[in-house]
Structure 1
Amino acid sequence: MSLRNVGWSQQHPTKPLTDPDDGPIEVDVEMAPLIEALWAAGHTTIMSCQDIGESILTGGTALPEHLWERNGAFYLGMAWLKVPADQGPRLMRVWEPLARERRGEWLAQVPIEGGRLCGFASIHFPREQITRAADLLA
């Protein structure tokens, strides 16, 4: 998980990368090639996790403890990427072949807070497709 928000803690092994916008950050080892491919393609990343279900189940997210079991089980085996909202649709077009292979397992959303769309998109997808997602950006 690359960490930029309060309330999150590292749950997976990491690799140090240098974010073009923010300098040195720690990124989950399995997500590192995807994050580097995103940056090389001119995208911005906000946060990421190689298995958000594992992170939830072990208390590594900002979710209240009474939601860990239900949400962790739902997202187990799913990678997570948080990007600026305007980049979400472009990325989903690039990754459409992967999403077609695993219908119903790719989820992209822009949350609503205070009656307005947030400035970020959350993309959840099968952890086992991380490498292929990076390859499609090349």
Structure 2
Amino acid sequence: MSLRDVGWSQQHPTKTLTDPDDGPIEVDVEMVPLIEAVWAAGHTTIMSCQDIGESILTGGTVIPEHLWERNGAYYLGMAWLKVPADQGPRLMTTWEPLARQRRGEWLAQVPIQGGRLCGYASIHLPREQITQATDLLT
């Protein structure tokens, strides 16, 4: 599934990686080491972004235009990783030391849609901690 299939457009420079499950995909360059480490640790990724706030502000997401400014400002400087819901807690346990350093800046959630938990977890982390998050997985 491409970004365009879900209403997203690419906003950051990318590198092509070969997803173990889905073949070639485009990954934001700053996220490449983290995505590779997540895969090497046996996890799966669904989507990612090196700065979701920038993507929102430039119209690269499915967020309605009238919410771009507010949501973009809120998420500016935050990287984003979308993983299967059952993998979110394990990753967050690994990253707990980083989350403690930056309380309130790390966010992990499983959305509710149609009265049920979705099959994915969204993890937001400070962009500045992408390298540290990678190091904890390797």
**Interval of TM-score (by shorter of Structure 1 and Structure 2):** over 0.9
Deviations 1:114-134 (A, max 9, x none): 000000000001000001101
Following the alignment from structure 1 to structure 2, what is the Cα–Cα distance between the partners of residues 137 and 95?
Answer: 8
Contact persistence 1:4–1:46 (CA under 8 A): no
Following the alignment from structure 1 to structure 2, what is the Cα–Cα distance between the partners of residues 58 and 3?
Answer: 15
Q: Stretches of 4+ moved more than 3 A in 1?
A: 2-5
Instruction: Provide the residue aligned with 2:110 in structure 1.
Output: 110
Instruction: Provide the residue aligned with 2:21 in structure 1.
Output: 21
Instruction: Provide the residue aligned with 1:73 in structure 2.
Output: 73
Count residues with an aligned counterpart: 137
Following the alignment from structure 1 to structure 2, what is the Cα–Cα distance between the partners of residues 5 and 133?
Answer: 29
Instruction: Provide the residue aligned with 2:82 in structure 1.
Output: 82
Contact persistence 1:3–1:25 (CA under 8 A): no
In structure 1, what residue type is equivalent to 2:11? Q
Q: Which moved more, 1:51-60 or 1:4-13?
A: 4-13
| Structure 1 unaligned regions, length at least 5 | none
SS in 2 for 1:98: helix
| Structure 2 unaligned regions, length at least 5 | none
Question: Residues 87, 96 of structure 1: CA spacing in aligned structure 2 closer, same or farther, 3 A cutoff?
Answer: same
Deviations 1:84-119 (A, max 9, x none): 000000000000000000000000000000000000
Following the alignment from structure 2 to structure 1, what is the Cα–Cα distance between the partners of residues 131 and 47?
Answer: 17
Following the alignment from structure 2 to structure 1, what is the Cα–Cα distance between the partners of residues 94 and 4?
Answer: 26
Tell me the CA shift for residue 3 of structure 1: 3.4
Following the alignment from structure 1 to structure 2, what is the Cα–Cα distance between the partners of residues 97 and 89?
Answer: 14
* TM-score normalised over the length of structure 1: 0.97
In structure 2, what residue type is equivalent to 1:123? I
In structure 2, what residue type is equivalent to 1:19? D
Tell me the CA shift for residue 6 of structure 1: 1.4
* TM-score normalised over the length of structure 2: 0.97
In structure 2, what residue type is equivalent to 1:70? R
Following the alignment from structure 1 to structure 2, what is the Cα–Cα distance between the partners of residues 5 and 77?
Answer: 25
Following the alignment from structure 1 to structure 2, what is the Cα–Cα distance between the partners of residues 116 and 9?
Answer: 28
CA RMSD, 1 decimal? 1.1
Following the alignment from structure 1 to structure 2, what is the Cα–Cα distance between the partners of residues 4 and 74?
Answer: 24
